[in-house]
Each structure stands twice: as C-alpha cells, then as structure tokens.
Structure 1
Amino acid sequence: MIEASLLADLVTELPHAVRYQRLMNAMREYFRCGAVALLRLDGDSLRPLAAEGLVLETLGRRFIIAQHPRLAAILASRRPVCFPSDSSLPDPYDGLLESCVGEPLPVHDCMGVSLYVDGALWGAVTLDALQEGTFDARAQQDLARFTLIIEASVRVTRLEQERRNLALMRQDGDRRGVAQEEGEIIGSSDSIRNLLRELDVVADSELPVLLMGETGVGKELFARRLHSRSPRRERPLIHVNCAALPESLAESELFGHSKGAFSGASADRAGRFEAAQGGVIFLDEVGELPLGVQAKLLRTLQNGEIQRLGEDQPRQVDVRVIAATNRQLKDSVRAGDFRADLYHRLSVYPVWIPPLRERGSDVLVLAGHFLELNRSRLGVRSLRLSRAAEQALCAYSWPGNVRELEHVISRAALKAISRGANRNDIVTLDAALLDLDYGDAMSAPRENPLSESVSYPRVRSLRAVVEDCQREVIRESVNRHDGSWAAAARELEVDSSNLHKMAKKLGLK
C-alpha cells in the first residue's frame, strides 16, 4: 500500500517539497526507524531537502562530505551501505534526532544509499534506528527497492522543472539556457513560499520592482532571485549600494563621466548603467540618493537615456531596474527628500519582504544553517541548540532580522568554545549564550507599508477571543512542522483526530 501511494504521487503534479516529505514519512513508517533524510549533492556538501524524525533546524544545515565519513562512504557505493551498530565513525545527526535531542546517538543502526539520476550522482538517503538489528539483510534489500522510487521521484520533479523552464524560454523567444542558481534563500514558511511564487511571476516581466523591507531581511538575495528567473538572466546584474555613494560622486558612478569632467577625471569612464547594458541594475537603499541624481534617474526610467557627466549627447541604455529600501519612501516623499514622480516610477511593482519574526519556523531552519557553518569553521563535532534556546529564538522579535540571527549564532558558538566546551563533544548552546537584547527587540519596527490598518471592536466575546487564539496556535504549529498535522498534534499534546476536527471548526481546513 505504501509503495502504491508513492507511485501515485509520481503521476500527480506536486510541489517538490511535498512529494519528498511524503517519501520520507512513508520510509520511516515502513522501516520503523527513528529518522530518515533525503540529501541533495551540492558541490562538496549534502543539503537536506526533506527529513522525518530530525529536529527542524536540520533542514538549514549543509553537511560537508569530507567532514562526515559515513556520508562519504554512502556516496562512494552504488549499493546500500549499512554501518555496524558499534561503528566508531561519527554520525552527522548526533544531537539532532527528535527522540534524543542534544544527546550523542547511542549504539544504533544506520544505513544509507546513494542516488543517481541520468547516470550522475544526485545525492543520498539516510536512515537511523535506535533499535539494534532494525536494518538486517531484508531491510537493505527493501532500501534498494525504495531507491528506484526515490530516483523516479527526483526524475519526475526534474522533468516538471524542465517543462517550466522550456515554457519560459519559449516566452523569451530564444534558446538561452537556465542560469545557475543564485545565492540560496533558506526557508519554507508560507510567507516565503508565497513571496517566491510572486517573484517568479513578476520576474518574467520588464516592470521595475521595488523591494521593501527592514534592514537585514536579505533584499539582495531576492533581487538575485528576480534576475535569475528573468529573460535577462544571462546578462549582467550590477549591484549599487546607493548609501555608500558619496554625494559628489553619485552621478558619475551611476552614469559615467568624460575625461576632464571634474578634477581627477583623467579618462572616460562608463557608469553602472552602461555596465548593466541588456541586464539588470539593483539599486540598493535607493532612498539615500541625492535629489539631483534622482532627477537623472527618473529620465533614465522614462526614456532609457543616460548622460555621462561632461558630455552633451545622451546615450541609450536597455536596463531593467530593481530597487530596494528599508525606508518608508512615502514619508520621504512627503518630507521632500524623495521625488514623488521617481517613487511612482520605481514602485510599479512593490514587494514587501517579511521580517524574520513573521516567518514562523524559518527561524530554526536558518539557525540550523548558521550552526552548521560555525560547526565546520570551529571544528566542532556537533553544534546544536537547547530546547530553551530554540524557544528563545522563536519568541524574539529580531529587529536585525536574518543578519542579526547569523551574528547571534556565531557569537554564541564562540562563547561556548571560549568557556571550555569540548570540540569533540556535542556542544549545546543554551538560551543564556544567545545574549538576546530584548530592549532593542521591543522597539523593533513592525509596519508593513503594503498592508492597510484594520481596526477591531474593543469589546469582543470571550469565545471569539479564545477561537482566535486557538486558530493562531494551530496554524503556527502546523507551519512549524512544514504542514505535518500529526507532528503538530504531538507538539500540542492532543489527539490527531481531535486536532483535525478542531481545525475544521475553526475554518483552517
């Protein structure tokens, strides 16, 4: 029955994350093991795509193959590899199993198999069981059979992606291939998934896009996503930090200058717009541009013209503009610091990037990513968070967003080592090591400029308030567990069937 349901998934168009997660759930149930993970080969490391039985932060980690001999052995073989229960090789999931969080894995069974797609090494699937003898010869034969289904699922997912890419190329009217993946955007919350879907649609247009969001949300990554999904993806993406441009040189930097245009201009020089010809220019912190330069930028947006400083003749450019700001530009317009006409030109398609505090369980996935980076950098056997630290991260409002989270994890890891933590043990970061500044967090900005304020009546029935609270708690728990209602039921300590009934009553299903 399990294999039949998985085969049915192959003929159903599903988001790849859903298809892979169903695979992991089915395998864990079939093999009666503690944890299963699907990992994709990415350069010199393995990247988890789906997992069952491991803490959520695992999905943010990247396992460098050279540092994990078990993973290296699995990749080196075309057959299932089973490790003796008393193997001395370190396990990459030490401290990450849900059933023994923060503890070294006791004597346990472990096996895995490499995955090949179209003759090329694609990744691996790993299984861990705390019950010795779980992975006998029969289990290894079954894993070999499951490998065929997993590889077929990967092929189907790849074909679906190729079909979408082919449709995009046909819209472009040429034979250009798909660009390499941009810097990774980590997260699977509803807000991020919805945002990425929106960006993929607008990327195919030529509209100017204004990315808005607080400092540290990663606006450059989203600009790169837009570029890589656009018809201009094989042309340059030029990044300009407008806040770093001296006012006296901003015009020359953007539009170029001729020899002798000013003191020190010893030769003709093209500006950033000419460097971006045929591609995309990303104007980061566009709200910091001087008013004089804003007028020239408006002309470029209107007519596709630039004029080098010191020249009389304009030049034509074909450049798409993506801008970003952490300011409320409407307020800057009212204050006279930003041109209203330029604002309307730049914000033809405004996009709000959610702050980290609105991304639910993405906090822990991102934390896992930064934990693995620091584990590798510091030479630690395993680096993880205590349960209290996880709760503290989820409760904090993150005024500095993803950038602040990266700094918090790096600082805590260094503190743990400096205070005597043994690099050969599992190093657990507790809440005190995080040193979160709740004073700053209380004053974190929370306004989304794209949302309208909604007023609620001051007096509401107790039932309505309770139902709102239940609805929010259930929604957050399901999101935190990537849509798994069973996992949410376990976390909330309610019967799974009762949770489904409650969700229907509250309008969540």
Structure 2
Amino acid sequence: MTHPLLSALVPLVADLSRELPDDERYRRLLSSLRQLLPSDAVALLKLEGGVLVPLSVEGLSPDTLGRRFKVDEHPRLKIIMENLGPTRFASDCELPDPYDGLVQGLAGHLEVHDCLGCPLYVQDKLWGLITLDSLDPTSFGQADLDNLQAFASLAAATVMASERIQQLARNFEDQRQLAEIYKRAAGGRNPRELIGQSPVHKRLQEEIQLVGNSPLTVLITGETGCGKELVAEAIHRQSPRAQKPLISLNCAALPELLVESELFGHVKGAFSGAVSGRSGKFELAAGGTLFLDEVGELPLPVQAKLLRVLQSGQLQRVGSDQEHHVDVRIIAATNRDLAEEVRAGRFRADLYHRLSVYPLRVPPLRERGRDVLLLAGFFLEENRARMGLRSLRLNPEAQKLLVGYSWPGNVRELEHLISRAVLKSLAEHSERPRILTIEAAALDLAQEQPVSEPQIGQDRPVSVNQGESLKSAVDHYQKVLIDDALVRHQGKWALVARELSVDRANLSRLAKRLGIR
C-alpha cells in the first residue's frame, strides 16, 4: 500500500517539470497538502517586507486572498516564522488566529481550534509559510508535524520553480527592452554616438557630462527629430547607473488605457485581456534609468500617479493594493513647451517642476552649421555598408544644398533623405558603380527655402556704412544676433542667453542698451 506522504509528494515532483500558471501550481500544492493532512483550511503566504500576502488558499473565504497580514499584528504567524520547523498551537491557546471566522461554508464566526504552520525557506532565505487549520481541536498530532516538515521541503522546491519562471520572464522583458540599444551598439554606432563639432553641440555635450554625473531628474526639450533619445542615452552612460538598464517608453505611442499599465505594471485580471501579471517600466528600470519620451502626451490622471511615484518612490501595479519601492532615475523628453502646457491646464505644474530639475535643450539641426555634413557622412557610411557599396559620397553642390537647408525634420529628416538619395542614385546606374556619387538633384531639396536664420559660428553679412565707428558696427551686429535668436526661441530670453553663451543678466542689460527691450 502506498504511503500517504509518497502519494502526496509524487504529483508535486511531476509538476516541477511542467509549465503551469502560478495559481494552478499553488492550487495543486495545497490540494496535495490537504490530501496528506486533512484539514478544514490551508493557505500559502508569501512574506513581502513585514506583511504576509496570501497567494493561494483552500477552505477559506475568497476575500482571504485580498487580505494582508502584518506580521507584528498576528502573533501566531510571527511564531511560525520564527521557528525553523513546524509549529502546532495548543487547542486552548489564547493567541488570536488570523483565520477565525474565515473558514468557508460554516455559519457564524467560529474560531479555529487546531492550528499548524511551517515556514518555507528558498535558498536559505525565509520566503513565507504554509498554514493548516481545523475546527476539530484534535485534528493534528506528532506524526503530522513530521509529515509537514517533509512536505515543506518539496513545497519550497515548488515555490522556487515558480520564482525562477517569473525571474526568467522578467529577464526576458528586460532583454527585450534593452535589445535595441545593444543591437545599435554592436551594429556600428559607437554606441548611438552624438556627432558634431559646432559650438552649440559642444556645449550640449558639456552639459550632458555635467548632469550625467549627478542624480538629478532631467527634462530634455527640443524639436522632433533632433536626437533627444540619443541625449538621454548619453546621460545614462555618463551616470553611475550606466551598468544598470535604460528603459524607454514613448508616452505618445500608447492608448491612454495602456499607459498606466506600461508604467506601473498590472496584476492578473486587472482589466480585460490581463491574463497574467506584468512588470511595468519602473520595475524593469530598477537601479537604472527610465526615459519617458514625449512626456507631454501623458493623460492628466496618469500624471498624478507618476508624480506620486517620483515623490515617494512607491508604486502600485494596476489592480493591486500592494506597494513596491523603486529606485529609478527619470529622464523625460518633450517637443512641447511644457510651461505653456501648464498654463493651458494640460500639464500638472507640480509634475513639471519635478521633471525639470535640470532642463536640457537639444539644438535643432539648423543651428548646428556644418554639423549637417558630419551627420550626412555618418548616414552615408551606414548606407554604404547596408547596400554593399565600395564608396559613397556627396558632390560639392549636394553638400552646399544640405548646409543651406532649414531642416524642419532635423537629424531624422536628414537620415531619411540620405537613404532615399542613395536609392535614387543607384537606380540611375545599370551596373553598380565602384564609387557612387550623390548629386544635388537626388536630394530633392531644390524647391526648399534656404535657412534664413544666422548660424552660431558662421558668417552673416552685415551692412556697414562707410565711416561708421567700430563701436557702432559691433552694436549693430550684436543687435542682429540677438533679434534673430529671439525669433528662433519665440522671445524666450533664457534660451537666447544659453545659445549666445551670455549671462542672462548681462544679456538683459545689453539688450536694453541696444534698444531691443
């Protein structure tokens, strides 16, 4: 005749090699336990901080799974945790039982009279515990304590199998998020290099190095396509968190109903389609950096919850009342004027101030002068390798056209334009040439208006009257530069001062003297 202990353990051993949902794995565990040790109720609880969270129960009311048992408030559970082996409480023990009145199918508030429990250790660390309860004060004996001790070892293996599967799932999610960055790093970008030599670009790199070494939250602003994501990656690489993940979320690319789940995660059944629990971007970025692209697109309700996480470091998954602590640095980016969004009531002022601890503006391509040629060369080399060409170049007319263009789509527009020009140029040759030259016509920029704004570091013709003093000519030139910068930055003096590398107070005095304000 098969021993009862063996009958209970054999199915659990078989389950270890099966791919099962956590709730089904734990249900089978408790069913086997009740087969081994008949009882009115059993429960599996996981220790999270100082709270025991029920993961699976049998014989207890369904609401038990929603309860959270603070260890300090439940002396029986605390005693079970403190003992290395199984614990049985005397039938006349006066300590309150956490399951009193919760035994399913019985009327009234009947108290549990026989209580047995055992801690579960996973890799020598207390993971949680198993409890058994009966209304019969003589249900359990010494043999049951011995059987429970043997059962607890396999229960711990069951829990470890579930934890390992969950960890693999989390690791897969991490790798999925980081795959694009690692792929780019291995594919020729060094890694996702910021290319440029213009004065404004050099100032940007200096600021990246400065803020990268700090723990400050950064708000990156700039036009669409100017490279805000690359700047975020560069800040992360400069930070002490560089060896931890950089997780990105495009806040504009998700439906409003999914943004909260993507940020904070969700539990199984939190909403229609949530067939399993899932970690959010905050948890995936633990110890590292979370990049919120197009943060100005966040709905107001989600803004409030994001603010709470930034203030307290605590988050709740959608559908859960359990809080998790997260250690994440935030880098946000937007092409909107968030200050104006605040005034219009579309963005929370308190969140704006939380995000803009260090505002960092990425200059548009039209302000970067001949950097456009450096970037064009970079994209040409990418296309050369992709197309299997020996050499790929721009003729002088094409270069001149690139420098004179206004680039409303910035670096992204340049990248796409170069790729199209290469394909068009190839199509004009019946045989693949050894050296493919991109002509100006292939760029399709002939009808575009040239840049009208002056570029920092470039010459701009300034009319000087014959006999005009040096001071008058300098004043005139300064006025031209300031006026044009004000137009580019829509009257924002702080941005003008930053572009011209002038202290804002000094700029204000100079502008007043020149009659600009």
TM-score (norm 2): 0.51
5 Å-filtered alignment, 1:77-476, equals: 182-420=191-429, 422-436=431-445, 464=472
Structure 2 contact 224–410 (Cα < 8 Å) conserved: yes
- 1:220-257 Cα offsets, whole Å, 9 max, x none, are 11111111110111111111111112101111111111
Structure 1 contact 216–401 (Cα < 8 Å) conserved: yes
Structure 1 contact 304–318 (Cα < 8 Å) conserved: yes
- How far the C-alpha of 1:206 sits from its partner, in A, is 1.0
Segments of 5+ residues of structure 1 without an aligned counterpart are 1-178, 447-458, 474-509
In the alignment, the residues of structure 2 paired with residue 283 and residue 266 of structure 1 have an alpha-carbon distance, to the nearest angstrom, of: 26
**Matched position secondary structure for 2:333:** strand
In the alignment, the residues of structure 2 paired with residue 433 and residue 305 of structure 1 have an alpha-carbon distance, to the nearest angstrom, of: 54
Q: CA RMSD in A?
A: 3.2
In the alignment, the residues of structure 1 paired with residue 252 and residue 207 of structure 2 have an alpha-carbon distance, to the nearest angstrom, of: 27
**Matched position secondary structure for 1:249:** helix
User: Which structure has the larger Rg?
Assistant: 2
- How far the C-alpha of 1:338 sits from its partner, in A, is 0.8
Structure 2 contact 295–332 (Cα < 8 Å) conserved: yes
In the alignment, the residues of structure 1 paired with residue 449 and residue 210 of structure 2 have an alpha-carbon distance, to the nearest angstrom, of: 36
Check 1:417–1:471 CA distance in 2 against 1; reply closer, same or farther (3 A cut).
farther
- How far the C-alpha of 1:439 sits from its partner, in A, is 5.0
**Matched position secondary structure for 1:206:** coil
Structure 1 contact 396–438 (Cα < 8 Å) conserved: no
Structure 2 contact 405–448 (Cα < 8 Å) conserved: no
- 1:141-186 Cα offsets, whole Å, 9 max, x none, are xxxxxxxxxxxxxxxxxxxxxxxxxxxxxxxxxxxxxx99632111
Check 1:248–1:440 CA distance in 2 against 1; reply closer, same or farther (3 A cut).
farther
In the alignment, the residues of structure 1 paired with residue 321 and residue 450 of structure 2 have an alpha-carbon distance, to the nearest angstrom, of: 52
In the alignment, the residues of structure 2 paired with residue 397 and residue 197 of structure 1 have an alpha-carbon distance, to the nearest angstrom, of: 25
| Alignment-derived partner of residue 57 in structure 1 | none
In the alignment, the residues of structure 2 paired with residue 232 and residue 360 of structure 1 have an alpha-carbon distance, to the nearest angstrom, of: 33
Structure 2 contact 404–450 (Cα < 8 Å) conserved: no
Structure 1 contact 399–441 (Cα < 8 Å) conserved: no
- 1:75-102 Cα offsets, whole Å, 9 max, x none, are xxxxxxxxxxxxxxxxxxxxxxxxxxxx
- How far the C-alpha of 1:270 sits from its partner, in A, is 1.5
Structure 1 contact 379–423 (Cα < 8 Å) conserved: no
Calculate percent identity across the aligned residue pairs: 59
Structure 1 contact 381–423 (Cα < 8 Å) conserved: no
5 Å-filtered alignment, 1:16-27, equals: none
- How far the C-alpha of 1:266 sits from its partner, in A, is 2.0
Check 1:335–1:229 CA distance in 2 against 1; reply closer, same or farther (3 A cut).
same
**Matched position secondary structure for 2:392:** strand
- The count of residues paired between Structure 1 and Structure 2 equals 283
Letter of the 1:340 partner, please give it: A
In the alignment, the residues of structure 1 paired with residue 290 and residue 388 of structure 2 have an alpha-carbon distance, to the nearest angstrom, of: 39
- 1:9-68 Cα offsets, whole Å, 9 max, x none, are xxxxxxxxxxxxxxxxxxxxxxxxxxxxxxxxxxxxxxxxxxxxxxxxxxxxxxxxxxxx
Check 1:332–1:398 CA distance in 2 against 1; reply closer, same or farther (3 A cut).
same
In the alignment, the residues of structure 2 paired with residue 380 and residue 236 of structure 1 have an alpha-carbon distance, to the nearest angstrom, of: 36
Structure 1 contact 213–354 (Cα < 8 Å) conserved: yes
